[in-house]
Structure 1
Amino acid sequence: MALGVCMLVLVVGVVAYFQSRADAGPQPTHSTAPPVTSGPVLKPGGKLEPAARRVMVEFVRSGLTRTNLAHSWELATPDLRSAVTKKQWLRGELPFAPFPVKGLESARFDIVGNSPRKVLIELFLVPELKSGYTPTRYELTLERKGVKDPWKVSYFLPYGPPGMYTEPK
């Protein structure tokens, strides 16, 4: 009986595997549609220009710590602000949780990718002592419409690897 159940499970697994492979189908060799682009091409690494760094620091100081919400609203793009109204934002109902940053002097960041109009940043923040928070990595994206336009924050959330926030069983 156990052998029969094992064989059945094996057959079902093999069929599911081949079915998933068959569903993918062959990849097209050419397309008449133009290639899909999601914005500027980003080069890995790079340096953060002073104006972009200033916006990153001011956004964290004003928005993440909830000290100057009107200023953080001005530094955010409409995409980042779209989840809430200005009134909600000014009440502190931002699309990310507050975090008691110890000081940005202790913050470290890495440039994941950059272009003249977009920068992807990993920001590592240390909380105030005895706050109950743990050091946290945030993902932040700075964008601007043109190379002479001001930088704005278009994405800002703590990084959470898959399964990080699941309830223990």
Structure 2
Amino acid sequence: MVLLVAAVAGVAALIVGNTADPPLPVTNRPAVVESKRKAVRLSASDRKTILALSRTFIATAVERKHAERAWPLASDELRAGTTRAEWKAGTLPFPPYPVRTARWNVAYSVVGEVGLDVLVEPSDRHISPLVHRLTLVRSTRPSGPKWLVDGWVPMSSSSFDAEGAPSSGFGVDQSSVPDSTPDPSRLWILTPFVVLLAALLIPFAIMANTRRAERRVRRRRSAA
């Protein structure tokens, strides 16, 4: 009986899995405490500059139409590991997207950084509309635009209503949905426990059948 209880407990533990938080990586670097940046209101001038720069960036870099023209609009972080020649050839650190129309929404604005949610309707009807996060940072270069594109990241899919306006609420980002498919390695681990459990249950089944047979014999004898 003790072995049976232990086997059942082991099987249950493997099915449920480890619910504890993963251990933090060990490092000798000093801890970094992230401070919450203060939200600021964009001036009319900055808003106009940011939207104009964003339109140019999407029309060139995102659509891969003379993408080298977007090189001066990109931050050093976005250009890292690439060259202007590679941008001209269409090799950029993000995939292309066929843009027909784009709608803008300021997601956040803090000192030195702005995030725009850009809802893009593609020119290819086989591709679903997609929301991208366009991040811009204030430039520290001695010349050029005051703001620079620092990131262009797809976020989620969306849909449009009959009039072509964005639907209320964005679609679910499928990359954030946890995978419910069982882990094959875990199923293989369960195999010996299942065999052990079956080996323990078979004698109990035989004993139960034997006792039922004995009770039937006793009833027949008493009836006779």
Question: In the TM superposition, what is the alpha-carbon distance from 1:81 to its structure 2 partner?
Answer: 1.0
CA deviation vs aligned residue, 1:123-158 (integer Å, no higher than 9, x gap): 11000144x221111111010146x96111001121
Q: What residue number does 1:29 align with?
A: none
| TM-score normalized with structure 2 length | 0.54
1:120 equivalent to 2:115? Answer yes
Report the Cα distance in structure 2 between the residues aligned to 1:150 and 1:50, rounded to whole angstroms.
11
Identity %: 21
For residues 87-121 of structure 1, what are the alpha-carbon distances to aligned partners after superposition, in whole Å with 9 as ceiling and x for unaligned?
21110011111111113xxx222222102421011
1:121-140 correspondence to structure 2 within 5 Å: 121-130=116-125, 132-140=126-134
Q: Which structure: greater helix fraction?
A: 2
Rounded to whole Å, the distance in 2 between the matches of 1:111 and 1:84 is 28
- C-alpha distance after superposition, 1:28-76 (max 9, x if no partner): xxxxx896347x8152997871111111111001111111212111111
- Structure 2 residue ranges without an equivalent (≥5): 25-29, 157-172, 182-224
Bigger RCO (CA 8 Å, 6+ sep): 1
Aligned to 1:163, which of 170, 175, 178? 175
Paired with 2:93 and 2:118, the residues of 1 have a C-alpha distance of: 17
- Secondary structure at the aligned position of 1:163 is classed as helix
Tell me the TM-score normalised to structure 1 length: 0.69
Give the ranges of 4+ consecutive aligned residues of structure 1 lying more than 6 Å apart after TM superposition. 12-15, 44-48
Measured in 2, the distance between the counterparts of 1:142 and 1:51 equals 11
Verify the 8 A CA contact 2:40 2:110 in the aligned structure 1.
Answer: no
Matched, 1:152 2:164: no
SS in 2 for 1:98: coil
Taking structure 1 as reference, are residues 17 and 136 closer, same or farther at Cα in structure 2, changes over 3 Å only?
A: closer
| Structure 1, unpaired ranges of 5+ | 25-32
Equivalences for 1:54-73 in 2 at 5 Å? 54-73=52-71
Which of these residues, 33, 36, 42, is aligned with residue 36 of structure 1?
Answer: 33
Larger radius of gyration: 2
Contact 1:80 1:155 in 2 (8 A): yes
Q: 2:175 is paired with a residue of what secondary structure? A: coil
Tell me the amino acid that sits aligned with residue 138 of structure 1.
H
Deviates more, 1:59-68 or 1:82-91: 82-91
Figure out how many residues of one structure are paired with residues of the other and give that number: 152
